[in-house]
């Protein structure tokens, strides 16, 4: 074998080892990036769209006022939330926004291992919130009243709640 051919074979083996090292470096980097896969892929918060019919109703999330409908809010994925929508003259609407297991968690089990799984549990990235869109159709309250300061109120309802105590009855006045 010639001297140059031996050098060529030596460099070719070295190049193959270098390719293997680069491949292992890239694979290791990808594996590290996939740690906490669900957290990285869709974050620790989720946008929830909230609307109502009629609109301009007040929205409370976990007993904190956040604005009037329609609006979009970012909620933390790691816990359930109670959304309440209220508008004067209408019954309040309340819904539970619950967390469910995200499909991204299976990426952790395959690539990120225990460390990635733990990162997602702590951050809340392991969950998705449902529903992701709330559309409340508010029902009219049958009770009508007018608000004035320093006044007493008389409520008139067409269909009273059976649990209420009756305190009086209106009588028809006869006109002559």
For residue range 25-40, what is the model confidence (pLDDT) as tens digits? 776 666 555 555 666 6
The CA-based angle 10-12-16, given to 5 degrees, is: 120
Which CATH number does the domain housing residue 66 bear?
2.60.40
| Residue 167 belongs to a domain | no
> Which pLDDT belongs to residue 158?
73
Residues 110-119: pLDDT tens digits? 666 676 777 7
Does an H or E element contain 153, and which?
none
Mean pLDDT of the chain: 79
- Radius of gyration of the chain measured on its C-alpha atoms: 32
| Residue 20 belongs to a domain | no
| Residue 99 belongs to a domain | yes
| Residue 111 belongs to a domain | yes
Compute φ and ψ for 144, nearest 5 degrees. Answer: -115, 140
| Residue 103 belongs to a domain | yes
| Residue 91 belongs to a domain | yes
Domain residue limits at 115? 34-137
The whole-angstrom separation of Cα 72 and Cα 56 is 13
Provide the sign of the torsion angle of the four alpha carbons 48, 54, 60, 66, taken in this order: positive
Instruction: Take residue 156 and report the two structure tokens written for it.
Output: 């008139």
pTM of the model: 0.61
Q: Which of 66, 84, 157, 150 is nearest to 166 (CA)?
A: 157
Q: With cut-offs at 50, 70 and 90, classify the pLDDT of residue 70.
A: very high
| Residue 62 belongs to a domain | yes
Q: Is the pLDDT of residue 144 over 60?
A: no
Count structural domains, the chain: 1
């Amino acid at each position: 074998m010639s001297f140059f051919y031996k050098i060529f074979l030596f460099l070719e083996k070295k190049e193959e080892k270098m390719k293997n090292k680069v491949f292992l470096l890239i694979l290791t980097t990808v594996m590290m990036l996939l740690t906490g896969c669900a957290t990285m892929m869709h974050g620790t918060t989720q946008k929830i769209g909230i609307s109502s019919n009629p609109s301009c109703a007040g929205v409370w999330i976990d007993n904190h006022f956040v604005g009037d409908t329609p609006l979009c809010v970012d909620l933390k994925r790691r816990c359930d939330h109670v959304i309440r929508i209220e508008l004067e003259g209408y019954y309040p609407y309340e819904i539970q926004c619950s967390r469910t297991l995200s499909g991204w968690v299976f990426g952790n089990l395959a690539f990120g291992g225990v460390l990635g799984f733990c990162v997602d549990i702590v951050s809340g990235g392991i969950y998705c919130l449902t529903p992701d869109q709330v559309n409340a159709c508010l029902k009219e309250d049958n009770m009508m009243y007018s608000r004035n300061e320093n006044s007493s109120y008389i409520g008139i309802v067409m269909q009273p709640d059976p649990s209420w105590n009756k305190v009086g009855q209106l009588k028809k006045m006869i006109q002559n």
